[in-house]
């Protein structure tokens, strides 16, 4: 880094789409719940979506190495073109590319497995509310089980994205990035035990912990 550290913006984040951007914006709006201090940040979306984040995030972020303290790349495993690889393997490849492109150990990758919607589903009553399912979370889960999308004893729907789409279709609510931001602002982070989310949280606390 050539600039004084105090002159740099804390974090630049590269994501594949507006829904992920909205979710990250919502999460970062709750620094206390995340266990970090208030930070300055910029979020960019890659025009080539998930494959672009996987293959070209280091090229996209290279010009920003002297403007930001840290960089984070976040995208879905499903749709990135590397579905046969494990989440950790994909993250390692992206992090290595970022490291040699000038970020060193100041960058990280979070690959959501299978996709962003897996972060939607928890037992929080806010999930049903944000999706527009008025009878509540217990009723929503029963309905998804009845149509074969949520195993009776499973922790989450087998196809998280399809489950979200089916619910919104049922309640006639348009799918929008605002739903993802609202969920991120209202659902307790303590209820989310997804490994990719836990990595995201750990990275944020390592870089910006109180």
pLDDT of residue 5: 67
State the pLDDT at residue 191: 77
Strand, coil or helix: what is 36? strand
Query: What region, left, alpha or beta, does residue 136 occupy, with left being phi > 0 and alpha being psi -120 to 50 degrees?
Result: left
What is the spatial distance between Cα 56 and Cα 50, in angstroms, rounded to a whole number?
10
Burial (0-12, 13-18, 19+ Cβ within 10 Å), 175: middle
- Give per-residue pLDDT as tens, 157-182: 999 999 999 999 999 999 999 999 99
CA 97/CA 56 separation, integer angstroms: 9
Q: How does pLDDT run across 83-107, given as a tens digit for each residue?
A: 999 999 999 999 999 999 999 999 9
Rounded distance between C-alpha atoms, residue 26 and residue 36, angstroms:
14
- Residue pair 122/189 in contact (Cβ under 8 Å)? The answer is no
Contact 197, 119 (CB under 8 A): yes
Phi (first) and psi of residue 16, to 5 degrees: -90, -15
pLDDT (0 to 100) of residue 65: 97
Please, which residues have CB within 8 angstroms of residue 135's CB and are 6 or more apart in sequence? 128
pTM: 0.93
Task: Flag residues of the chain having pLDDT under 70.
Answer: 1-5
Q: Tell me the longest C-alpha to C-alpha distance in the chain.
A: 59
* Whole-angstrom distance, CA of residue 117 vs CA of residue 104: 31
E strands within 2-155? 9-15, 41-45, 68-76, 107-112
């Amino acid at each position: 880094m050539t600039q004084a550290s105090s002159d740099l913006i804390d974090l630049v984040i590269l994501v594949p789409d507006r829904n992920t951007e909205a979710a990250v914006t919502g999460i970062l709006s709750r620094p206390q719940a995340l266990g970090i201090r208030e930070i300055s940040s910029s979020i960019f979306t890659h025009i080539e979506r998930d494959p672009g984040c996987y293959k070209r995030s280091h090229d996209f972020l290279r010009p920003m190495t002297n403007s930001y303290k840290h960089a984070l790349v976040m995208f879905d495993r499903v749709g990135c073109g590397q579905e046969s690889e494990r989440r950790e393997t994909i993250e390692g490849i992206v992090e290595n590319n970022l490291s040699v492109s000038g970020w060193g150990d100041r960058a990280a990758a979070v690959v959501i497995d299978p996709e962003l919607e897996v972060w939607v589903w928890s037992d929080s009553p806010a999930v049903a509310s944000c999706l527009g399912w008025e009878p509540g979370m217990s009723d929503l889960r029963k309905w998804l089980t009845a149509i074969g999308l949520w195993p009776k004893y499973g922790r989450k729907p087998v196809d998280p994205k399809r489950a979200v789409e089916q619910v919104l279709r049922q309640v006639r609510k348009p799918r929008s990035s605002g739903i993802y931001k609202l969920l991120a602002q209202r659902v307790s982070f303590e209820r989310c035990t997804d490994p990719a989310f836990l990595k995201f949280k750990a990275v944020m606390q390592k870089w910006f912990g109180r």
